[in-house]
Amino acid sequence: MVNAVIAGFGVATPPTFEQTALWNDFFVSHTDGSERAKKIFHNAGVDTRHGVINPLTEDISRWTTGQRMARYETESLSLGESALAQALDNAGLSARDLGLLTVVSCTGYATPGLDITLAARLGAATDTQRMVIGHMGCYAAIPGLRAVADHVRVSGRPAALLCVELTSLHLQPAPLDTEQAVAHALFSDAAAAVVVLPDATGGTEIVDVTSRTDTSHAEAMTWHVTDTGFRMGLSSRVPLVLARQLPDTVTGLLNRHELDIADIEAWAVHPGGRRILDVAEKALALTPEDLHPSREVLRQHGNCSSATILMILREVLADRPAETVACAFGPGLTLYSALLRSV
């Protein structure tokens, strides 16, 4: 069987903002300004994050969804092109070599979309296949990895995955309630890409992917289109639900390959928030060092939705661990896990 091997990464971010400045100069008056809201921002585990919209200079909270989507088309293109070009260069390929380009986003839509525009701008062949994965949220990069890996195995041609998320476009009108304050304290903008090659002699193989959806808690995490952008619902129950589902999901994946948790050298766990990382560490009996890369990405970049897990993997896989597990979570309530192996 042809192996699907990650051979290149690319990451692009818009301007960086200080979390403290965002609170002091904007969100203190955009929330109820309470001590509770202040603690949410200061205890989010985020020091800096990124945005194509700087609320300190441009308050878009009353913009229509149409206005936000028009801005998405403009802003997503440059970020996506930068990340994808980096990944292609890192893998030693041109866009013309790609058999498939998969684009992931839950923060904006247009047709013709990023997949078509980027394929043309970067010089992809006219027979390059394209796929768009939308509205799956933070875990979408992992089914995206599965899709490009399957294409590589079947066709024997390279494929690329690009995640572009611009959550700053969905600033909600004031005053933010507690649930909205949590979301606005965490989320950030970024683009991240990987290029996957058939039977590459260096890189990281995508071995297997698994998922589990707990529909009894489907409303615990939501992402709805409203007249003023996309509005997140984020229940305080999410970490506890994940803690119950995560061990069986991960061990089920590992057991298929005669592995257990002790065999895994590196972990890339999506930092949906500081508390989610804390419960994941306890549920999987990991050490703080195991989740240090996830906490560092959260601290430096915030939660960049689907792009985040690729940003963590870029850091983790640089050390060429023998076996790596990636985990991400999102609406549904859905968990995705991937097993990766150095080659």
Going by C-beta distance under 8 Å and a sequence separation of 6 or more, which residues neighbour residue 110?
Answer: 69, 72, 73
> d(Cα 75, Cα 66) in Å, to the nearest integer?
14
| Residue of 138, 163, 304, 327 marked active site | 138
**pLDDT for residue 237:** 86
Q: Is the pLDDT of residue 80 over 90?
A: yes
- Mark whether 138 is an active-site residue: yes
Could you confirm whether domain 4-198 is CATH 3.40.47.10? yes
Q: Quick one: which of 264, 274, 270 has its CA closest to 324?
A: 264
Query: What percentage of the chain carries pLDDT values higher than 90?
Result: 91
Measured CA to CA, the distance from residue 296 to residue 161 in angstroms comes to: 23
Mean pLDDT value across the chain: 96
Give pLDDT, residue 164.
98
Options 3.40.50.300, 3.40.1030.10, 3.40.50.1820, 3.40.47.10; CATH for 204-342 is 3.40.47.10
Cα 232 to Cα 182: distance, rounded to the nearest angstrom: 10
Are both 4-198 and 204-342 of the same fold?
A: yes
C-alpha span between 150 and 50 (Å, rounded)? 32
Give the residue extent of every domain in the chain.
4-198, 204-342
**Cβ(270)–Cβ(294) below 8 Å:** yes
Confidence tier at 4 by pLDDT (50, 70, 90): very high
Distances from the Cα of 135 to the Cα of 230, 234, 290, angstroms: 10, 15, 29
Closest to 57 (Cα-Cα) out of 165, 167, 171, 164:
171
Picking from 320, 327, 326, the residue whose alpha carbon sits closest to that of residue 343 is 320
pLDDT of residue 1: 82
Residue 234 confidence (pLDDT): 85
Task: Give the pLDDT confidence of 240-293 residue by residue, as tens digits.
Answer: 888 899 999 999 999 999 999 999 999 999 999 999 999 999 999 999 999 999
> How large is the average pLDDT for residues 318-332?
95
Residue with tokens 């992992």: 142
Gap between the Cα atoms of 50 and 297, Å rounded: 12
Say what the pTM is.
Answer: 0.97
For 45-56, the pLDDT digits (tens) are: 999 999 999 999
- The residues, any chain, with a CB within 8 Å of residue 66's CB and separated by 6 or more, are none
Any residues with CB less than 8 A from the CB of 215 and at least 6 apart, and which?
A: 332, 333
Q: What is the pLDDT of residue 30?
A: 97
State the greatest distance between any 2 C-alpha atoms of the chain, in Å, as a whole number. 58
